[in-house]
Structure 1
Amino acid sequence: MPASRAHYVTHAPDVHPARHAVTSRALHASLALTIGLLYLTAYGRKWATTQLESANWYLLVVHVNLGLLSVALSLGLLAAHLWLPQPPPQGLPRVTRLAHRGLLAVLLALPVAAYIGTGFDLRVLGQWTLPAFQRLPLAASLTVLFEVPLITLMEPFGRFHRDWGADLLLPCLLGGHIAAALFHHLVLKDGALDRIWSLRR
Structure 2
Amino acid sequence: MALTNSDKDYGRIAKWLHWGTALLFLASYCAVYYRQWFTERQTPENWTALQLHLSVGVTIGVLLVLRLIWRLTNTQPRICPGPAWQVKAAHWGHWLLYAMIFIMVFTGYTGTGANTEFFFLFDIPKFEDTSMMPALMSLLGVEYAAYEDVMDLIHKDIGGAWLVWMLILGHASAALYHHLVVKDRTLKKML
Q: Does the 8 Å contact 2:9/2:77 carry over to 1? A: no
Q: Name which of 50, 54, 61 aligns with 1:71.
A: 61
How far apart are residue 164 of structure 1 and its match?
Answer: 0.9
1:88 aligns with 2:82: no
Which has more radius of gyration?
A: 1
Is 1:46 aligned to residue 32 of structure 2?
no
Structure 1 residues 109 and 99: alpha-carbon distance in aligned structure 2, compared to 1, 3 A threshold: same
Of 59-68 and 134-143, deviating more is 134-143
Counterpart amino acid of residue 45 in structure 1 = R
Q: Give, in whole Å, the separation in 1 of the partners of 2:59 and 2:96.
A: 19
2-structure distance, mates of 1:158, 1:53: 22
1:30 partnered with 2:27 = no
Q: CA deviation at 1:160?
A: 1.0
Structure 2-normalised TM-score? 0.86
Determine which of 172, 175, 189 is the counterpart of 2:169: 175
- Counterpart code for 1:171: W
Q: What runs of 5+ residues in structure 1 fail to find an aligned partner?
A: 1-14
* Contact 1:74/1:108 (<8 A) preserved: yes
After superposing the two structures, state which structure 1 stretch, 140-149 or 54-63, moved more.
Answer: 140-149
Match of 2:159 in 1: 165
2:15 paired with 1:21: no
Q: Which amino acid letter does the alignment assign opposite residue 23 of structure 2? A: L
CA gap 1:98/1:60 in 2 versus in 1, 3 angstroms: same
- How far is the alpha carbon of 1:128 from its aligned partner? 4.5
Identity of aligned residues (%): 27
Where 2:120 maps in the other structure, the secondary structure is coil
Partner of 1:152: 146
Residue 19 of structure 1: how far off its partner (Å): 8.8
- What amino acid does structure 1 have at the position aligned with 2:17? L
1:56 aligns with 2:49: no
Are the equivalent residues in 2 in contact too, given 1:122–1:132 (CA < 8 A)? yes
CA RMSD across the alignment = 2.0
Distance in 1, Cα, partners of 2:177 & 2:104: 28
- SS of 1:139's partner is helix
What is the CA-CA distance between 1:127 and the residue it aligns to? Answer: 5.0
Gaps of 5+ in 2: none
Mapped partners of 2:135, 2:54: distance in 1: 26
Flag the 1:148–1:82 CA change in 2: closer, same or farther, 3 A.
Answer: same
**2-structure distance, mates of 1:41, 1:159:** 19
**Is the counterpart of residue 99 in structure 1 residue 102 in structure 2?**
no
TM-score (norm 1): 0.82
1:17-54 Cα shifts (integer Å, max 9, x gaps): 18941111111111111111111111111111111321
Matched letter for residue 136 of structure 1: T
Q: Give the counterpart of 1:118 among 112, 126, 131.
A: 112
Shift of the alpha carbon at 1:89? 1.6
Given that 1:122 and 1:131 are in contact with CA atoms closer than 8 Å, whether structure 2 keeps it comes out as: yes
